[in-house]
Amino acid sequence: MHIEILVEDSSGETLLEVVLPKLLGEYGNPHTWSMHSYKGIGRIPRNLKGSADPAKRILLDQLPRLLQGYGRTPGIDAVVVVLDTDRRSCVDFLNELKALAAGCHPAPNTLFRLAIEEVEAWYLGDRQALIDAYPRAKADVLNRYVQDSVCGTWELLADAIYPGGSAAIKKAGWPLPGQVKHEWAERIGPLLDPDRNVSPSFGKLRDGLRRLVAEAV
């Protein structure tokens, strides 16, 4: 089975590069995938004929064009789209995404998976991996977190493990936020245990991908 995977930013791609083999097996044995990261999430266009500039690489702006292209391309068995919900309603956002895919003709086999509120929820879902990566993480901050809540997730993680916390990152400004998120993906991602992770949204990614490849057998 070959899967095309779309993710909204490069730190998410870094994370998925180490997580996917844990879920799908070694690349090419037997499944293959291609990863595509974008430069932000954007918004769902009002119609499937939107004229967004492909060069800007904003994921939702490009999604109708991408899905329709995949639907016409032989050899692509499924498309997986991984997004943060941010402050959106998970249910409403997922329904909008499914409606977009249903309007594509032909539509590829598409799986949407959402991190609630941000992908950092998946790091917080595996406390052991997080502590192994950052042994000096502040337990009092981590203990305040309610799994998959909308609470300023990346800021809470930063307050637990980054010197000076989220305030220091915000004060420094770009590109530090992106650099820090890449570091988290590189340090925590390889230590994540998919079956130990208590994040419900990570569980949906894990189970959805496993089900996808099982159905292809």
What is the number of structural domains in the chain?
2
* C-beta separation of 4 from 70 below 8 A: yes
* CATH number reported for the structural domain that contains residue 206 in this entry: 3.40.50
Q: Examine the domain organization and report whether 24 and 106 are in the same domain.
A: yes
**How far apart, in Å, are the Cα atoms of 145 and each of 23, 58, 70, 138, 152?**
26, 30, 39, 12, 10
Name the pTM for this structure.
0.95
Report the distance separating Cα 199 and Cα 147, nearest Å. Answer: 6
Residues 110 and 128 in one domain: no
Q: Does residue 66 share a domain with residue 21?
A: yes
What is the three-class DSSP state of 71?
helix
Q: What's the pLDDT band for 216 if we cut at 50, 70, 90?
A: confident
Name the 3-class secondary structure at 53.
coil
Q: 161-203: per-residue pLDDT in tens?
A: 999 999 999 999 999 999 999 999 999 999 999 999 999 999 9
Same domain, residue pair 102 and 124 = no
Q: Tokens for 183, please give them.
A: 């570091």
Is 80 in the same domain as 145? no
> Burial of 123 by CB count in 10 Å (0-12 exposed, 13-18 middle, 19+ buried)?
buried
Model confidence over 61-74: pLDDT tens digits?
A: 999 999 999 999 99
Angstrom distance (rounded) from CA 19 to CA 16:
5
Domain that holds residue 161: 120-191
The helix (run of H) or strand (run of E) holding residue 3 is strand 2-7
Q: What mean pLDDT value characterizes the chain? A: 95
